[in-house]
Amino acid sequence: LQSEIKARKLSESVVICQANTPALISNYLLASDFGVYTPDSGTTLRNTAIMSLLQHRLPLIMTRHRPPEVQLEKQPFTFVISPQQSEQLRSMLLILSRSSFMRQRLGRFAADYAQQFSWERVSRQHHQLYQEMSRHAPSRFNQPMQTPSLSSS
């Protein structure tokens, strides 16, 4: 793939981020217009690269996972293509390349969507859950825990 990028003289505009530091990848993503993630196995929400693309406000061209990742595929910022379909990929690239307004708007949707999976939100939800549980727990569970004595009598 990298030799194809060089042969087409696209090295200045196409960057493969896989072998770089997280800070450098973030900088590349901040300068990007959209993300492309098209493995033959398809795309899922469990993939950290996908979350990073979405958090950086990037619309996403992706391949369909089997079984389909419906929650992700139905989002307005995703463009689903079949694996190894270069014509579909080319069409999606052209569509996204035509309108910076559309990319920015879809990027905002992507970032909002990704927020629900952020560690800050997960932490906040856990904290709320534990507070709710402690309010409704029997009073004996609200008492400090007694440490058993290890001395033998």
pLDDT digits (tens, 9 = 90+) for 3-47: 877 888 888 777 776 667 888 888 888 878 888 887 777 777 777
Give the integer Cα–Cα distance in Å for 44 and 68: 8
At 63 the three-state DSSP class reads strand
Token digits of residue 57:
């406000």
pLDDT digits (tens, 9 = 90+) for 86-106: 888 889 889 888 888 999 999
Answer whether 0.75 is exceeded by the pTM.
no
